[in-house]
Amino acid sequence: MNKKLKVIVCGTTFGQYYLAALKLLKEEFEIVGLLANGSERSKVCAEKYNIPLFTSTSGLPADVNLACVVIRSGAIGGSGTEIALELLEHKINVIQEQPIHPRDLESCYRAARKNKVHFMTGDLYPNMTEVRRFINCACELNKLDSPVYINASFCPQVSYPAMDILMRALPSIRTWEIEALNQNIGPFDILTAKLGGIPVTIEYNNQINPHDPDNYMHLLHNLVIVYESGRLTLEDTFGPVIWKPRMHIPTSLYNPNSEQNITPAHLLENSIEILGDYRERSFDTVITKEWPIAIARDLLSVRDLILDGANANRKAQQEVLCSKQWSEMTKIFGYARFLSENKTRHHHISFDSIRSFADNI
């Protein structure tokens, strides 16, 4: 069905990226409003996109099909969940930006069922090109080999997407078995556990700048799945994805008297491979170009959900599982520690400097 959905965006911080994503999908969506608190920023956003600004759900047009709730959820002290529930009661389909507590998720799904509309969690990170590559490679490798170990490093701000990525990449994340937790020995807390029966070490950058919570992380995501045959690595949320085969040298090659020594084919392959068409690009390109494209994928998914409802129950079950495992994990780590003032200054070392270090060998 080629129906254009009328959509509003709620929130003007990260909501600006949803507005940018919707502008990429002019054939599928029409932006009909912005719901915000009436701040100067929200007024500027409304003017930029030439759309009306609403300050309450009661004043919204009656024919809105979808609301993008891009306001901090109750799980992190915001009003996003309350607004999502209000919109669902107005019989408006909702996509709400992660993270969402499982209790809130279940409330939203109940409200959606009652009002015969749809609800979905928004999470751009599994839609990033290199993350999708990592997930796809992992799913195919899982058919050929079994994961034996996971090493995962990430920060609290993207801990929900980390669990989402692992859920999509691993055979299962249904069980948590906690072994040990080491804290306060550096910028990373270290958790050893089993996730879905697979041993895992999580390095959790459990620190935050209370005045600038979206900065000063040491990384977003670094994920490694170890197989008997090698290691699949997502070096960073923005890539690359790397395959490192496990080294195996036949003992016959150590026999100096043998005339039958033939180097096996696997030793002639690269010792490491950057997968796909990875290319370097700036943070600005990632943020202004790739984030909206990734959000657009979610918007198309919720559009499909609204128009035909396919796999709605399965999608809901996956989201609840992801939220429960994320909630359990963050409960184990506890609240993030506040960074001291001397740790909240931006340090930048130029690439030219790093290149000079690398070349001076």
Q: Give the integer Cα–Cα distance in Å for 99 and 106.
A: 13
Burial track 22-48 (b if 16+ CB lie within 10 A, e otherwise): beebeebbebbbbbbeeeeebeebbee
CATH number, span 5-122: 3.40.50.720
pLDDT for position 345: 65
Model confidence pLDDT, tens digit, residues 53-69: 999 988 899 999 999 99
- What confidence category does residue 195 fall into, taking pLDDT thresholds of 50, 70 and 90? very high
More confident residue, 358 or 199: 199
**What is the arithmetic mean of pLDDT over 298-321?**
92
pLDDT for position 63: 93
Q: Where in the chain is the domain with CATH 3.30.360.10?
A: 127-288
Residue 226 has pLDDT above 90, yes or no: yes
Judged by average pLDDT, the poorest of 39-48, 135-144, 206-215, 346-355 is: 346-355
pLDDT for position 267: 78
Model confidence pLDDT, tens digit, residues 80-129: 999 999 999 999 999 999 999 999 999 999 999 999 999 999 999 999 99
Residue 352 has pLDDT above 60, yes or no: yes
Q: Give the integer Cα–Cα distance in Å for 195 and 223.
A: 14
231 beta partners: 226, 244
- CATH class of residue range 127-288: alpha beta
Q: pTM of the full predicted structure?
A: 0.93
Percent of the chain with pLDDT over 90: 75
Asked if 61 and 33 count as a contact pair (C-beta separation under 8 A), the reply is: yes
- What confidence category does residue 130 fall into, taking pLDDT thresholds of 50, 70 and 90? very high
More confident residue, 92 or 352: 92
Contacts 24+ apart (CB under 8 A), 169-173: 169/134, 169/135, 169/138, 169/139, 169/223, 169/225, 170/138, 170/142, 170/195, 170/196, 170/198, 170/225, 171/142, 171/146, 171/147, 171/196, 172/196, 172/197, 173/321, 173/322, 173/325
pLDDT for position 249: 79
| Residue 256: DSSP 8-state | T
Residue 197 has pLDDT above 70, yes or no: yes
pLDDT for position 260: 63
pLDDT for position 112: 96
> Average model confidence (pLDDT) for the chain?
92
Q: With CA atoms as reference, report the closest residue to 174 among 328, 22, 36.
A: 328
181 beta partners: 191
Residue with tokens 């959900």: 305
pLDDT for position 343: 60
Judged by average pLDDT, the poorest of 76-85, 155-164, 219-228 is: 76-85
More confident residue, 77 or 81: 81
Q: How many residues does the chain have?
A: 361
Judged by average pLDDT, the poorest of 115-129, 151-165, 178-192, 343-357 is: 343-357
**What is the arithmetic mean of pLDDT over 334-355?**
77
pLDDT for position 1: 53
Tokens of 59: 């004043």
Judged by average pLDDT, the poorest of 10-14, 138-142, 266-270, 327-331 is: 266-270
What phi and psi, each to the nearest 5 degrees, are found at residue 58?
Answer: -70, -20
pLDDT for position 60: 92
Residue with tokens 């459990």: 206
Residue 278 has pLDDT above 70, yes or no: yes
Q: Where in the chain is the domain with CATH 3.40.50.720?
A: 5-122
pLDDT for position 252: 72
- Sign of the C-alpha dihedral computed for residues 62, 106, 121 and 47 taken in this order: positive
